Structure 1
């Protein structure tokens, strides 16, 4: 039996990248996984198949989390499949590759809609479904590293690190832990620039290990935080950057 046997997890943005790797990892540990996707239903089906191939069970939920009321609608759809949740992973996100000077109001709103507003309301509407002793894990961004090329994006993700600390304090009486996981440069669809050899070399230079991250590297950290072994860890921003800019 896996460490999450009998538990149910909801993972937003689970159709690809870190979300898919996390769905497979939690499924392997015995969790029943709700695979959320924004628009790519076929990719979500592939995630479900991957979870099942790993020995887990899963079901799909589609919702554009940038739309008003979408988080509440997502949970209503969830209710048709499950009677409660034990692990919420706020993973869905996007990057707006613009500096402060280049960022227009529409860009700013785009960055905050999925990276900050969606996690807030997924958590808000999930609290009545989240069982005592449960877990909320937010995939955010490292606050200590300056990334001016995606200024609005890192600002939004920094807001969720603040939300993490506040939720951790608020939910501690219920035995619920709330933590952030902050990936570094990771090989996902959002990092298509890594196909350029010069950009890959630049990306590899950030990690103390001299490589870019893999989605599985992050999924393993999330799986730990979802387990009982992490019961005494809450309100933390867990650095999963591979030692990015260590010592600076």
Structure 2
């Protein structure tokens, strides 16, 4: 029996990159997996098809997390169709950068809606249904520990907010055995930040290992936190960043 057999996980932003890798890895560990998408329906369904081809169970949910009710609705659909929720992985977000003076109010509101508000609302909804021993895992950023230069104010602000939220969740839900953690990726080779991109050499130079990580590096850390090994880890961050913040 796999370590997550009988568990149900919801991953926001699970159609590609890190989200897709986490969906497949959690499914391989035995969990039934729900994953949300906002635009890439074909990619989300391809992830679900891969999971089902390997004998797993997957649910694809459309969720525009800029809308206030979307995160709660995704949790409720997961519980309704898969029977429960044990693991919430808040992965959806925007990779946003640019000069401070160029940031518009609309852009600010959009980033905070997805990267912060939806995380709070999903956690609030999931906590209503989780049994003792549940997991709430949010995907942060290496900018939580080190901002390497200008143009990252919005992303650094939004992702750092997850730390305070996670500490509060850990204290609030700890008596029920529910843990809350943040995983902070460093440079990860995805279509949003390819290892062959124009800033890749600079990003590699900031790491101790001198290379990009893979989406599966993040998926492995999340699977650990979601499983029995993560039961005493809460209210903290786990840097999976190749030594970016060393």
The question of whether the paired residues in 1 share the 8 Å contact of 2:12 and 2:91 is answered with: yes
| Cα distance in 1 for residues equivalent to 2:103 and 2:45 | 35
Aligned alpha-carbon RMSD (Å) = 1.4
User: Offset at 1:54?
Assistant: 4.1
SS in 1 for 2:180: strand
**What is the TM-score when the length of structure 2 is the normalising length?**
0.94
* 1:229 positional shift: 1.0
How far is 1:75 from its partner? 2.5
Alignment check: 8 A CA contact 1:112 1:153 kept: no
Q: How does 1:180-199 map to 2 (within 5 A)?
A: 180-192=182-194, 194-196=195-197, 198-199=198-199
Classify the secondary structure of the residue corresponding to 1:80: helix
Quick one: structure 1 residues 174 and 64, their matched pair in 2 at CA, closer, same or farther if it must change by over 3 Å?
same
Does structure 1 retain, via aligned residues, the 8 Å contact 2:188–2:212?
yes
Runs of 5+ unmatched residues, structure 1: none
What residue in structure 1 maps to residue 180 of structure 2? 178
Q: Counterparts in 2 of 1:1-248, with a 5 A limit?
A: 1-142=1-142, 143-147=144-148, 148-192=150-194, 194-196=195-197, 198-246=198-246
1:1-20 per-position Cα deviation (integer Å, ceiling 9, x unaligned): 21101111001100001110
Spell out, residue by residue over 1:64-104, the C-alpha distance to the aligned partner (whole angstroms, 9 max, x if none): 01112112222232233122111000001112221222212
Seen in structure 2, the aligned counterparts of structure 1 residues 76 and 181 have a Cα distance that, compared at 3 Å, is same
Shift of 1:150: 2.3
Gaps of 5+ in 2: none
- Equivalent pair of 2:68/2:118 in contact (CA under 8 Å): no
Aligned pairs, how many? Answer: 244
Matched residues in 1 for 2:91 and 2:35: separation? 11
